[in-house]
Amino acid sequence: MAMNPLDSLAMTHAYDRLLESVGRVAPEVGDGRLTSHWPLVGRNFDHGVLVVGQAVYGWLPDWTAADATSAAGRSAILDDTKAAFNDLDDPMSWISGHRVENSPFWRTAHEVTDALAPNPASPWFSRVAWTNLCPIAPGAYKGNPEGMLRQVQTTAAAEFLGATVDALRPRIVLVLAGPFIWSFVEPLDLGALSRCDAPFTLVGRRRDGVGWICGMHPGGAQRRGWPARRYAELIIAEAARLTVQR
Whole-model pTM over 0.75: yes
- Work out the number of other CB atoms within 10 angstroms of the CB of residue 41: 23
> How is domain 5-245 classified at the CATH fold level?
Uracil-DNA Glycosylase, subunit E (3.40.470)
Over its length of 246 residues, how does the chain's per-residue pLDDT go in tens digits? 345 888 899 999 999 999 999 999 999 999 999 999 999 999 999 999 999 999 998 788 889 999 999 999 999 999 999 999 988 999 999 999 999 999 999 999 999 999 999 999 999 999 999 999 999 999 977 789 999 999 999 999 999 999 999 999 999 999 999 999 999 999 999 999 999 999 999 999 999 999 999 999 999 999 999 999 999 999 999 999 998 776
| Per-residue pLDDT, 194 | 96
- Work out the number of other CB atoms within 10 angstroms of the CB of residue 194: 10
| Per-residue pLDDT, 57 | 81
By the 8 A CB rule, do 124 and 114 touch? yes
Single-letter residue type at 61: P
From residue 75, give the alpha-carbon distance in Å to each of 25, 122, 139, 157. 18, 35, 19, 17
- 199 cis-preceded (ω within 30 degrees of 0): yes
By the 8 A CB rule, do 167 and 32 touch? no
User: How far is residue 127's CA from residue 217's CA, in Å, rounded to a whole number?
Assistant: 21
- Work out the number of other CB atoms within 10 angstroms of the CB of residue 122: 16
Single-letter residue type at 34: L
Predicted confidence (pLDDT) per residue in 197-245, tens digit: 999 999 999 999 999 999 999 999 999 999 999 999 999 999 999 987 7
Q: Structural domain boundaries of the chain?
A: 5-245
| Per-residue pLDDT, 186 | 95
Residues 6 or more apart in contact with residue 204 via CB below 8 angstroms: 190, 192, 193, 194, 211, 212, 242
Single-letter residue type at 226: W
| Per-residue pLDDT, 58 | 78
Q: Judging by beta carbons within 10 Å of its beta carbon (0-12, 13-18, 19+), is residue 5 exposed, middle or buried? A: middle
